[in-house]
Structure 1
Amino acid sequence: MVEVNTPDAMNPGATAAKIIYILYLVGIFVALTGLIGVILAYVNQSGAPRWLQSHYRFQIRTFWIGLLYLLIGALLTGIGVGWLIILGWLIWLVVRCAQGLRYLDRWEAHPNPATWFFT
């Protein structure tokens, strides 16, 4: 059976996925929104079509991997290199969210939701 991807008006899951990407980007300034985003991704993942499940998996991994990068960066700020790691996390997060939004806007599954990098 072929799965057809439909526009936002007919697919509320796509809207939720878009909101999660935006919450992650807002999380750069307000950390709590990132936590809200990952909770929403976990909640919406199971009932979503396969192509959207790939986005939710990518979003969940983005949260946890990003948290790891931030913790490492925070631990290493005392020797200066931590600030570079945090800057790298910031760029990494923006690129991942932008790429995820691009695939979502084209109604495509994320091609590699298990990656640690960008795509």
Structure 2
Amino acid sequence: MTDTPTQAPQQDTGASNAKIVYILYLVSLIVGLTGIVGVVMAYMYKGEATAWVQDHYRWQIRTFWIGLLYSCIGLALTFIGIGFIILLATAIWFIIRCVKGYQCLEKRQPLPNSGSWLF
């Protein structure tokens, strides 16, 4: 009898790295610097991932830069009072995008509209 060695199922490293980026983004709401680590990871792993995971990396990169833009606008407008509302809306928007992306990633699906500025 010959036993054929069983191989462990290969894990899609692109998907696991994308999952880490989503977690780093959510932690960045408290720590701050982890968002920068997350966007660097997204840029690094985007090219070697499968097509549906590349969609998630695109979503993550856009989430970072659009969130940074909204945050800068909110910070600039805090002096007239409206900035706090913009910062709160940006944080809510950021959380929704991360959760939506994470849910699609867990289902192993691409995002429906990864080029969107909204959700």
- Could you say which residue in structure 2 is the equivalent of 1:60? 61
Deviation at 1:110, TM superposition (A): 1.2
TM-score (norm 1): 0.91
Distance in 2 (CA, whole Å) between partners of 1:48 and 1:18 is 13
3-state secondary structure, aligned to 1:112: coil
How many residues were matched structurally? 111
- The structure number with the bigger radius of gyration is 2
Task: Please tell me the root mean square deviation across aligned C-alpha atoms, in Å.
Answer: 1.1
Distance in 2 (CA, whole Å) between partners of 1:110 and 1:36 is 22
Unaligned runs of 5+ in 2: 1-8
Deviation at 1:9, TM superposition (A): 5.3
* Partner AA of 2:68 in structure 1: L
- Could you say which residue in structure 2 is the equivalent of 1:15? 16
- Could you say which residue in structure 1 is the equivalent of 2:105? 104
Unaligned runs of 5+ in 1: 1-7
Distance in 1 (CA, whole Å) between partners of 2:18 and 2:111 is 12
* Partner AA of 1:79 in structure 2: I
- Could you say which residue in structure 2 is the equivalent of 1:5? none
The runs of 4+ residues in structure 1 deviating greater than 2 Å are none
3-state secondary structure, aligned to 2:117: coil
Distance in 1 (CA, whole Å) between partners of 2:73 and 2:102 is 27
TM-score (norm 2): 0.91
CA deviations over 1:3-61 (Å, ceiling 9, x no partner): xxxxx952111110011001000000111100000000000000100000000000000
* Partner AA of 2:73 in structure 1: I
Distance in 2 (CA, whole Å) between partners of 1:47 and 1:86 is 34
Distance in 2 (CA, whole Å) between partners of 1:43 and 1:111 is 23
In terms of fraction of residues, the more helix-rich structure is: 1
